[in-house]
A and B are shown apart, each in its own frame.
Chain A
Amino acid sequence: MDRPSSSAEHGVEARGVTRAFGTVPALRGMDITVPYGQVTALVGPNGAGKTTLLLILATLLAPDAGHIRVAGHDLRADPEAARVHLGWMPDVFGVYDQLTVDEYLAFFADAYRLPAAERPRRIRALLALVHLEEYLGQPVHVLSRGQKQRLGVARSLIHKPRVLLLDEPASGLDPRSRVELRDLLRSLAAEGVAVLVSSHVLGELEEMADRVVLVDHGRTVGEHRMGDLAGAARPRWRVRALDPGGLAAALDGRPEVGEVSELPGGCELGPLTEAQAAGLLADLVARKVPVVEFGPATGALESVYLAMTENRR
């Protein structure tokens, strides 16, 4: 395989991408960087433009404006060159129900011009990767929705792409499959692939992604390292004590702890930063409140996301 030009530091670099459908703007200036060897999450509410951005990055849709490089190739000048290095899985897709699982993958192997000698090994390896080995030779239509989703992942990996774009891959997956998807994406990133995942399932992204790009109303509103988010976030906190009455009394008349709502055996309060929360916990312990649980009620990503969507409403 030809290597992308050495100047390419990132799998995807996009600046100022705009796209309108008719008179309705879907993207109003998106910026995104997807480094090699990392999983980047694309997060935003419905209609934010995630799918549209991924279609543009996948060379299916032309942007109205903006500079985009994928695997080092300018999409305007040479989309075909970028395609060779690009794996893409749409949010909703069809499989050829009449084929068997291995026929399906073999067709795409041929379409990507994989050497015929390499094909059977590659198909077996991919089916093992997405835990569908036992479906070798089975028709695609016997697969469940989640299994089809995994077959889609296998398809998008058939030509060993250096850049992988996945649109809501976790939807329709059971918890076990989600954990497996997370491990799969992490191992691909460890091999140097630039992975971009759009999702609503914020809890999983937190464990899966290295970076997060927040988008809303067609604009990029933030690009963060996942590690930095925890410090910056102001989530609500969940506190449980052996003596709920004592806890309530200790919190009474203290506006700095935010809005307090009762929960069985305790309460939820906040939003507080990690430093504020640590201070509050020390104070409660000093007042001899028997605290048995003190933790963020939402993940850091979720609280950033909720704050963002609240501001924009």
Chain B
Amino acid sequence: MGARVRGARLVAVQEVRIRLRTGRWKALLAVWALLVNGLGLLFRLSLESGDHGDDDPQGVPMFGGVLLAVLALCLLITPALTGQSVNGDRERGTLAALQLTRLTPADIALGKLAAAWGTGLLVLALTLPCVLLPVLEGVITPGRAAATLAVTGLLIGVVCALSQAWSALVARSITSVLLSYLTVLALFGGTLLLFALAQPLTVEPRYYSSSSGTRYAYERERPELVWWLLAPNPVVVLADAAPRLPPHIETDGDVSTSSEPDNDPLGDLGRSVREMRAGNGNYHEGGPVWPYGLAFDLLLAGGAFWVTTRRLRTPVRRTAKGVRLA
């Protein structure tokens, strides 16, 4: 146990040190922070200028919009951070010497994953000023911010693990970076596409008898059969995992009506996937979707980590075509 932690930490520290000394990391990170926070503030200003009723705090849509954008951007940056962590070392001829030391394959995989994930979390942390502005305004509770940031952080880790596995499986680092991007695309767009294609297959005929006795036939889709196809989507996981805002209470004389809060992208998305889970004809929400999605994504990441570890084992039996071992 102690040895595993020590080995992984040694590899992680080494990775971070090398990353920090390669290229213009500080400049890149500064540009990233300026860009994201600047765009976040611009988004807020445009919300304010289109604002009509002043009882709707613009912090709510800002938080949701910025967070979804941050999730997408972070998951697009991550493959570039991790997509060559194993085969890049192999190409540079530094991996084999490492494999011969007393570091185990799991030490190496874990250390590299920790370094990549840590970098991803740093990238996320740089977006905090504009993500947390609505919290400082008191519009978003710290609990909601913490939960959504934790989920975003986990999803970054998932993409790190998947990219790392590609870098361990594929000989060329260009190929593995490309495959990592395709994987992210599959999580975002592929799940949507599958859902859109699968939903029409659930159509079933329904009959309706009018009071005069005439029977009418009509068709109904049954999204409750295929909602799970959407669950692994990072956007769905994040939106549905965000704790709900308190309902909007409107008092008109003695009558007070409660409605869902307006302009909350996260809540709207979460509600619509839960409605799909409940199915057509049910006017209440279904159960939460995000635990299934997150569990699936984490399982995928666990499998990817296992693949990476296996591919780092020596002696190697099968070698890829035209690839030097050392």
Chain A residues with CB under 8 Å of chain B are: 21-22, 55-56, 58-62, 75, 79, 83-84, 86, 88, 90, 92-96, 98-99, 103, 107-108, 110-113, 155
Q: A92-B93, A112-B102 in contact; A62/B317 too (CB < 8 A)?
A: yes
Minimum Cβ distance to chain A for residue B135 (Å): 38
| Residues of chain A with a CB closer than 8 A to B314's CB | 59-61, 79
Q: Are B93 and A94 in contact (CB under 8 A)?
A: yes
- Mark interface residues in B3-25 (1 if CB within 8 Å of A CB, else 0): 00001001000100110011000
Q: Are B94 and A93 in contact (CB under 8 A)?
A: yes
Bound complex: CA A94 to CA B325 (Å): 13
Minimum Cβ distance to chain B for residue A46 (Å): 15
Which residues 10-50 in B have Cβ within 8 Å of A in the complex?
10, 14, 17-18, 21-22
Q: Is B326 in the interface zone, CB < 8 Å from A?
A: yes
Q: Is B99 in the interface zone, CB < 8 Å from A?
A: yes
| Residues of chain B with a CB closer than 8 A to A58's CB | 96, 100
Q: A98-B22, A111-B101 in contact; A62/B94 too (CB < 8 A)?
A: no
- Mark interface residues in B297-326 (1 if CB within 8 Å of A CB, else 0): 000000000000000001111010100111
Minimum Cβ distance to chain A for residue B312 (Å): 12
Bound complex: CA A61 to CA B97 (Å): 13
Q: Are A99 and B17 in contact (CB under 8 A)?
A: yes
Bound complex: CA A69 to CA B103 (Å): 22
Q: Are A107 and B10 in contact (CB under 8 A)?
A: yes
Minimum Cβ distance to chain B for residue A228 (Å): 33
In-complex Cβ contact of B319 among A61, A93, A94, A107 (8 A): A61
Q: Are A93 and B93 in contact (CB under 8 A)?
A: yes
Central interface residue in A75, A83, A103, A111, by most chain B CB within 10 Å? A111
Bound complex: CA A108 to CA B314 (Å): 18
Q: Is B92 in the interface zone, CB < 8 Å from A?
A: yes
| Residues of chain A with a CB closer than 8 A to B102's CB | 83-84, 111-113
Minimum Cβ distance to chain A for residue B111 (Å): 11
Residue on B with the closest CB to A152?
A: B97
In-complex Cβ contact of A111 among B10, B96, B316, B317 (8 A): B10
Q: Are A60 and B10 in contact (CB under 8 A)?
A: no
4 nearest A-B pairs in the assembled complex, by CB-CB distance: A111-B101, A94-B93, A98-B21, A62-B315
Minimum Cβ distance to chain A for residue B4 (Å): 13
| Residues of chain A with a CB closer than 8 A to B94's CB | 93-96
Residue on A with the closest CB to B14?
A: A107
Chain B residues with CB under 8 Å of chain A are: 7, 10, 14, 17-18, 21-22, 92-94, 96-103, 314-317, 319, 321, 324-326
Q: A55-B326, A61-B325, A62-B317 in contact; A90/B93 too (CB < 8 A)?
A: yes
19 contacts between A and B (CB under 8 A): A21-B319, A22-B321, A55-B325, A58-B96, A59-B314, A60-B100, A60-B316, A83-B101, A88-B100, A92-B326, A93-B326, A94-B92, A94-B93, A103-B17, A108-B97, A108-B101, A111-B7, A111-B10, A111-B103
| Residues of chain B with a CB closer than 8 A to A107's CB | 10, 14
Q: Are A60 and B325 in contact (CB under 8 A)?
A: yes
In-complex Cβ contact of B10 among A86, A94, A110 (8 A): A110
11 further A-B contacts with Cβ under 8 Å, apart from A83-B100, A93-B94, are A55-B325, A55-B326, A59-B314, A61-B316, A61-B325, A62-B315, A84-B102, A90-B326, A99-B18, A99-B21, A111-B98
| Residues of chain B with a CB closer than 8 A to A22's CB | 321
Minimum Cβ distance to chain B for residue A115 (Å): 13
| Residues of chain B with a CB closer than 8 A to A86's CB | 100
In-complex Cβ contact of B316 among A62, A84, A88, A110 (8 A): A62
Bound complex: CA A21 to CA B322 (Å): 10
Bound complex: CA A83 to CA B326 (Å): 16
| Residues of chain B with a CB closer than 8 A to A90's CB | 93, 96-97, 326
Minimum Cβ distance to chain A for residue B321 (Å): 7
Minimum Cβ distance to chain B for residue A75 (Å): 7
Residue on A with the closest CB to B22?
A: A98
| Residues of chain B with a CB closer than 8 A to A113's CB | 102
Minimum Cβ distance to chain A for residue B2 (Å): 11
Q: Are A75 and B315 in contact (CB under 8 A)?
A: yes
| Residues of chain B with a CB closer than 8 A to A98's CB | 17-18, 21-22
Minimum Cβ distance to chain A for residue B17 (Å): 7
Minimum Cβ distance to chain B for residue A68 (Å): 10
| Residues of chain B with a CB closer than 8 A to A60's CB | 96, 99-100, 314-316, 325-326
| Residues of chain A with a CB closer than 8 A to B316's CB | 60-62
Q: A92-B93, A111-B103 in contact; A79/B315 too (CB < 8 A)?
A: yes
Minimum Cβ distance to chain A for residue B176 (Å): 18
Minimum Cβ distance to chain B for residue A21 (Å): 6
